[in-house]
Amino acid sequence: MAGAPSPSAPGGPEPPPQPLQYSLLLQHLVGEQRRPRAWDPAALGGIPSPPKSEEQKMVERAMESCAFKAVLACVGGFVLGGAFGVFTAGIDTNVGFDPKDPYRTPTAKEVLKDMGQRGISYAKNFAIVGAMFSCTECVVESYRGKSDWKNSVISGCITGGAIGFRAGLKAGVIGCGGFAAFSAAIDYYLR
């Protein structure tokens, strides 16, 4: 079989081979001529979202603030405490009990009044504890600059110690340890 004719003139020298384009490719990918590309999540297949307006950024900053978190925890604690107080009063056998006449059956009005009083009492206590815990956790997180389990343990100790300290130093230490352990358990369970 005869060899294929070369593309150059018959009988003339062959042209030199083209240089490899690796060096040019590397200059564009890694070298001086590399152009940084803007990161666009939409290009990766995500849902495109428009840039946030100043109003949206302001609302996000407000919702991330310690004051908003404390108010939210206060309202949530009030609602939860009220429900818990009404529930415990509903299953308590001493609701509407009159020590002067132990055999008298309490009326529905007396039972509802006692349930309301207990619900309000629990609601106030839960609201105070919720606001204290949320506020101290936010302050501790801001101070430490980290968001981890230690923040809830520290704020639990501060909150429990402050609540227990009203009854004395020993009660404050026990409250600190108990509330810190409870906070650690809840944080471990939720994360």
- Domain range summary for the chain, segments of one domain joined by +: 61-146, 148-190
The whole-number pLDDT of residue 84 equals 94
In the chain, what percentage of residues exceed pLDDT 90? 43
Residue 172 to residues 7, 53, 55, 126, Cα–Cα distance (Å): 96, 47, 44, 18
Would the pTM of this model clear 0.85, i.e. be above it? no
Whether 22 and 31 have beta carbons less than 8 Å apart is answered as: no
Q: How far apart are CA 42 and CA 93, in angstroms?
A: 62
For the segment 91-120, what is each residue's pLDDT rounded down to a tens digit? 887 777 777 877 877 788 888 888 899 999
Average pLDDT over residues 74-79: 96
For the segment 14-63, what is each residue's pLDDT rounded down to a tens digit? 777 666 576 776 776 776 666 766 666 656 666 667 888 889 989 998 89
